[in-house]
Amino acid sequence: MAAAVRRLLKELQDIQNDPSEEIVFLAPIDDESILRWRAVLRGPRDSPYEGGRFELHISVPEQYPIRPPTLTFVTPVCHPNVHFETGEICLDILKSQWSPAWTLTSTCLAIQVLLANPEPSSPLNCDAANLLRCGDVMGYRSLVGLYTRMYALPQEHLQ
C-alpha cells in the first residue's frame, strides 16, 4: 500500500501544479483515506454533454497502480457505455487494458473522451445504444441533452 500512497501523493501534486481544463475537480474525498477520490468532469465540447458537470467516485485499490481504480458516475448519465442506475462505466482501460502508465487524471480524461465517442457495440445502456445502432443520431443527441439538462447542469444555469 505504501507504493500506492506515494504514487497518489505524486499524482495529487501533479494535478495541483498542472490543472486540466477538462477536469473541474480531482482530489481525495477527505483526509481519512487517499484511496477514495472525487472527480468532476466538464461535458465535452460539441457533444450533447457540453455545459454539464459530471461527478465521479473513484475507489483506488491498495495495489494501485498495478490494479486499476474503480470509477463510477455519481451524476446520472445517459450514455451507451454507462449504466444509468449504478454509474458503472464500460471502458477497456478500467479492466483488461489497464496499464500502470495510466494516472487518475489520464483515466478521467479517457472517460471524458468516451462521453463524446460512445461505443454502442458494448452497451450498459441498451436504449441509448440502440438509438445509435439504428442511426438515430438526432434522437440520441436529444435524449442525452435532456438528461444532461436534468442532472448535470451547474445550478447557476438553472436560474
Locate the domains of the chain by residue range: 2-154
Q: Which residues of 97-117 are buried (b: 16+ CB within 10 A; e: fewer)?
A: ebeeebbbbebbbbbbebbee
CATH architecture of 2-154: Roll (3.10)
Among 90, 108, 126, 134, the active-site one is 90
Q: What is the DSSP letter of 150?
A: H
pTM value is 0.94
Helix (H) / strand (E) containing 28: strand 23-28
Q: How far apart are CA 95 and CA 69, in angstroms?
A: 9
Query: What pLDDT, on a 0 to 100 scale, did the predictor assign at position 157?
Result: 47
User: What pLDDT score does 1 carry?
Assistant: 85
- List per-residue pLDDT tens for the chain, 159 residues long: 899 999 999 999 999 999 999 999 999 998 889 999 999 999 999 999 999 999 999 999 999 999 999 999 999 999 999 999 999 999 999 999 999 999 999 999 999 999 999 999 989 999 999 999 999 999 999 999 999 999 999 865 443
pLDDT at 82: 98
| Ordered strands of the 70-73 beta sheet | 23-28, 36-42, 53-59, 70-73
Active site residue 90: yes
